[in-house]
Amino acid sequence: MLPAHHWAYDFAIGADDIEGITNLLLDNETPLTAIELASAIVKRRENESRRRLQQQYAGTKLYRPADSYQVGDRLTFAALDYATGKITKLRSGTSADFSSIQVAAVEFDEASHQTLGAREFVVEFAGDHPLNNAQQNSHPSQLKADYTLDDIIRDPQTTIVEQVNDSLERNPDLVRIAGTWFVRELMIEVDIGHLHLAEAVLDMHAGGPLSPQQILAEIGGLGDMPIPLQIFSLNYAMNHDERFDEVGPAGQVLWHLKSLLPRMVLQVPAILQYAPLAYDRRQLTREMLQLEYDLDDEHSPLTSPRPEDEVSITLIYPHRRVGTLPINSETRHIFPDAKTPRIAVTLVDLLDKSEYRCWVVHEHKYVFGLSPLYQKHHLPVGAYAYLNRTDDPARIEIEFDSYRPRTEWIPLANRTEDDRLRFQTAKRAVGADYDEMIIVGVGNLAEVDKLGKDIQTKQVALLRLLRSLVHELSRQNPQGTVHAKVLYSTLNILRRCPPAPMFAALLSSPDFEYVGGNYWKLSH
């Protein structure tokens, strides 16, 4: 822990700091991170601080009541935050037990004079006193810092790294790539020939992803300059070429050919597209808000703390249909973050250790690439999936409550001639445990997909869809009611919509009656 008055708490970056780190980059000919550059500043500032302390206390003696001093001696006082002063006069005195002592008049130095002024201190005192203990009362020159340079950098109350980044971003002579900085004019020239070779290398590896080190190894490098500078220069050039996409998680650079990225990574699948609806959350009851939290739709305005163990999700139709996972309030803690639009990750099936290349699209809140996994396990809509982090942020483990596929009766949706969904039960192969209120199958996928597209094109009102669905689903229940979870699941076959706007629409219309327990029915 840093001392309360350490200079780092009042740190402000100056022109000499910028000049110093620029010279460091020039001398090393190697790109450095903001932390490395901040460390150089901290080291210089700490050395200067300690040198000033040495100068301040040079020639001073530590005040101890038992010691003898002369007029003109300069003392430092541990009990007074190591203030310094000069003895101007000595006189004889008597202690409380009538023993002889000396009394020293001390005039404090200018820095401390305003608060301390002139004072008198007992010297040549033979009795016991805490300040006579050499272990508890040491001269500043003998004090050793119980913190490291790294402690200064990592202290949450210091802003040194942030100030370094902010200042360097305003410097046109410096460039930042993948968290490292370098001088623009000293970068290696990467010409169009190098970029063509990089494209060819990625093409031979199915588009990537490959690290810049792998690409450099296959194109023969960029001369005899230091490898970190070659990597920095190649990253800079590829970052400014539209053929290449940076897909590494934060702290790791990986390149992929944009032309060979899956279409659904570059373009959001229509079935996942949600057009936000305005609604008043104050209308929602506690039951509704609790169900919203339980469903944890990625488009719901929810936050969850970072989980210590695995997180679970329930697959709804849109994600099962196109082979995606939601990035909701919990799974966002599992998948790696980055400043790039797309991140390449590997999902590992814990059942058989198979690996799947997937793509995290944070902006649109989904992870693509799981269709083969879903099909292998015969996962139904409503299946429970469990995700775990690993030591590698780009590797995530996934598992299900799997069992040998068996035939079960489940609700099945089909398109009718009048462009509605009709539901009946049918046998389907199911290979994992599921939520009985979310599970739903689709008979003719092409027809139901077309119905969803037509609804989107015609901008069919949400209330109209809800009336149709409640009418059809209530026929399956003797009470004529529909649970909101069932309604949410089936609504998302036709239109992407989180729970809260659906609740608000139901509450706003006299066509629907809320009967409690998250059950709804038509009012007439």
Domain boundaries defined on the chain: 7-56+146-171, 70-133, 187-261, 294-403, 408-522
pTM across the whole model:
0.76
Burial class (CB in 10 A: 0-12, 13-18, 19+), 59: exposed
Average pLDDT over the chain reads 87
Fold of 294-403: At1g16640 B3 domain (2.40.330)
Mean pLDDT across 199-206: 95
- Contact (CB, 8 A) for 339 and 332: no
| Residues 43-92 pLDDT 10s | 888 788 778 777 777 778 888 888 888 888 888 887 777 788 888 898 88
The SS3 call for residue 421 is strand
Distance (Å, whole) CA 498 – CA 493: 12
* CATH fold group of domain 70-133: SH3 type barrels. (2.30.30)
pLDDT, tens only, 436-447: 999 999 988 899
What pLDDT, on the 0 to 100 scale, is given for residue 113? Answer: 58
d(C-alpha 40, C-alpha 33), whole Å: 11
May I ask the CATH architecture of the domain 187-261?
Answer: Orthogonal Bundle (1.10)
pLDDT at 1 over 70: no
Half-sphere exposure of 131 (CA within 13 A, CB side): 19
Bridge pairing between strands 74-77 and 61-62: parallel
**Rounded Cα distance, 518 and 500, in Å:** 12
